[in-house]
Amino acid sequence: MGSGCIAAAPLLFMKIINSTNKTASGDVDKAILDYCEGEFQKEKQFETQRIQQVQSEIQNLKGVTNPAMGKCVASMPARDYYRLIKKYGVHQVHSKDFLKYFKKKMPELSPNNV
């Protein structure tokens, strides 16, 4: 009796592994595309929220000089800052040329002149 149960289990297991997927590849492709588009829309929405948050934070920094750090010349969301550091390196992101470019490209995030 015990050996009959053992013999039936491998057949059932093989049946599960060999079962075919009933979805068409077009359905899977559309589902993946829809998911990616949804995630891109969420990222764009969150980016807008992050930029608005930084804009509200830098309103208090216009014309203010910190005794230890000096004037705030640029501010950006942390996620964007770390992406730039990873892509271009610390020295490039902190260079005067980059700060001038950033001030020209995103003046709303640059409270003071370089």
Assigned domain for 97 exists? yes
Domain that holds residue 48: 24-109
Domain count for the chain, please give it. 1
Smallest Cα–Cα separation from 92: which of 81, 108, 107?
Answer: 81
pLDDT above 50: residue 5: no
Q: Which residue has the tokens 């003046």?
A: 107
Assigned domain for 44 exists? yes
Smallest Cα–Cα separation from 109: which of 54, 63, 70, 60?
Answer: 54
pLDDT digit string, tens, across residues 67-87: 888 888 888 888 889 999 999
Assigned domain for 51 exists? yes
Average pLDDT in the chain: 80
Contact criterion met (CB below 8 Å) for 20 and 41: no
Assigned domain for 48 exists? yes
- Which residues make beta-bridge pairs with 65? 71
| Amino acid at site 56 | S
Instruction: Read off the pTM.
Output: 0.58
Token reading at 38: 């949804």
Across 26-43, average pLDDT: 88
* pLDDT on residue 14: 53
* pLDDT on residue 1: 46
Assigned domain for 55 exists? yes
